[in-house]
Amino acid sequence: MSRASILANSIAISITSIIAFLASFDLYRLSHIQNIPIISITSPLIFPFLIVIIMISCIFVLVVKDIKRFLENKVIINNSKVTDDNDYLEDLKNVLIYCMATYFYTYLLVKTNFIIATFLFDALVMFYICTYKPLIKKIFIVIFASAITIIPIYYVFTKVFYVVLP
């Protein structure tokens, strides 16, 4: 069990716990503030309640199992590959940056138009990922590749598939 997998598992457990907490909170709010009974055959909350209970139970068992496994493998974990760990954090950082870039692209789509926003996004991402050298060649390839991607996408979506683009 590497530290990277513990980190990945912790993130996933945190996400599922937050979802379970939010769902439980809403069920509590609906049952106490709006006076809707949870345990009643006609209640609209009975099914979500059962699902939340199953989910919380499974999360609990999983956490207990993971902690047990963690304690059993403590020595191995301490000596585990730190590179794995760094790789995972690096991946997560890249993905979050990419998420931000995509959200920025969405913002640009609203503020400008499809062709400008998409060209900027496409070219920047390609430039970021592409490893070609020298720089001039890289810039030329990226601009060319962006142009040959966007024009067909725009044409196919708007003229063939009748999709209204921003």
Cα 145 to Cα 140: distance, rounded to the nearest angstrom? 9
Say whether residue 44 binds another protein (CB under 8 A). yes
Distances (CA, A) of 57 to 30, 53, 62, 150: 22, 6, 9, 48
Say whether residue 116 binds another protein (CB under 8 A). no
- Of 123, 113, 128, the closest CA to residue 146 belongs to 123
Say whether residue 108 binds another protein (CB under 8 A). no
Candidates 1, 48, 77, 112: give the one binding another protein (CB under 8 A).
Answer: 48
- Say which amino acid occupies 130: C
Binding characters for another protein, 119-158, by CB under 8 A (x = yes): --xx--xx--xxx-------------x---xx--x--xx-
Q: Cβ closer to another protein: 25 or 74? A: 25
Is-contact 116 147, C-beta < 8 A? no
Residues of this chain, 51-90, that bind another protein according to CB under 8 A: 51-52, 54-55, 58-59, 61-62, 65, 88
Is-contact 88 7, C-beta < 8 A? yes
- Of 60, 57, 49, 5, the closest CA to residue 24 belongs to 49
Maximum Cα–Cα distance for the chain, whole Å? 70
Q: Which residues are near another protein by CB under 8 A?
A: 5, 8-9, 11-13, 15-16, 19-20, 22-23, 26, 30, 36, 41-42, 44-48, 51-52, 54-55, 58-59, 61-62, 65, 88, 91, 94-95, 98-99, 102-103, 105-106, 109-110, 114, 118, 121-122, 125-126, 129-131, 145, 149-150, 153, 156-157, 161-166
